[in-house]
Amino acid sequence: MLEIAYTMNQGRLSRSQEDCILINRIVYQKRGLPITAQTLTDGEALLAVADGVHSSPTPHRASRLVLEELVKSLREHPEWLQEGFIANRHLRQVQERLADQLAQHPQTAGSATTIVAAHFHGQRAAVLNVGDSRAYQVSAAGQWRRLSKDHTVLQGLIDRGLASPDIEYSRIYMALEHVLCADFGSDDFAIQQVMVTLEPGDRLILCSDGIHDEIGEAQLQALFDPTLEVAAQTKVWRDAVWQHGAHDNLSLIVAMAVR
C-alpha cells in the first residue's frame, strides 16, 4: 500500500505550465494543483513527472503527450514488461509516437520533454528517467539515494572523467544531452533504469528541476522530516521552493510505503 501526495504549480515567473504529472491513468497539467493526498491499495501504481523543455517549440504538448502515450504503451504491450515492470522499450515507443504526432508539423517539430517514472508492484518499483527530472529514495531513518541520472552535458563530462562533481561549473554545462524529442532521428536517447524495494516508512520522490534546482539537493535533504506524513512533507518542500522564488514550473510527487 502507498500513501502518496502530489502538487504542481506554474511558478512565479513562468508564463505557462510545461510540466505534467501522472497518477496512475490520470494526467494533470494545471497552473496550480493544490497538494492532494490519497492511498493506493491495488498493489500496482504508475507515477511520473514530465518537464517540457522550455527552449523547444511546444513543450507543454510534449510533456502531456508523453505521459498519455506511456499509459497506452503499458496497456497495449504487457508482453514488453520485464518481470511485470515497465521496460525501456515502452519509452522507446513513446518517443516514436511523440515523433509521429508532432515531428511532421513545422510548429511542433522538435518539441521535447524530460521524464521520470516509477512503476510499483507491492513494495518493489522500477524507476526510469530521461533528462534531469529526478527520483530519490529516502529510508525511514532519513538515508538518501538518488535513483535517477541527470542526462546533462556536465554529467556526461563527469562520467568521462573530464569534470569533477565537487566543482561548480557554468550553467551552460547543465544543458540536456538526452530528452524525449519529436524528431524521427532522436531515438537513441539514454534511459536510466533501477529497481528498488521500499520498506514500510520509505519514501520515493519524483520531481522536476523546478524543485531540485530551485532549492538544491542539500536543502531538499535538510528539510526532510521522517515524522511527517506525505502531504505535510510535500508542503514543506513546496513552500521552500516558493519562498526561494519559484522561478520555474514545479512538480512534486511523494510516495511512502505503508504496511
Cα-Cα-Cα-Cα dihedral sign, residues 14, 18, 19, 23: positive
Annotated domain spans of the chain? 2-148+179-257
Tell me the pLDDT tens digit for each residue of 87-105.
999 999 999 999 999 999 9
Query: Residue 202: how many CA atoms within 13 Å on its side-chain side?
Result: 18
pLDDT of residue 168: 83
Tell me the pLDDT tens digit for each residue of 217-248.
999 999 999 999 999 999 999 999 999 999 99
Residues 6+ apart with CB under 8 A from 217: 146
pTM assigned to the model: 0.95
pLDDT of residue 149: 95
Euclidean distance between CA atoms 240 and 9, whole angstroms: 13
pLDDT at 259 over 80: no
The x, y and z cell numbers of residue 73, run together, are 504503451
Class of domain 2-148+179-257: alpha beta
Euclidean distance between CA atoms 177 and 74, whole angstroms: 26
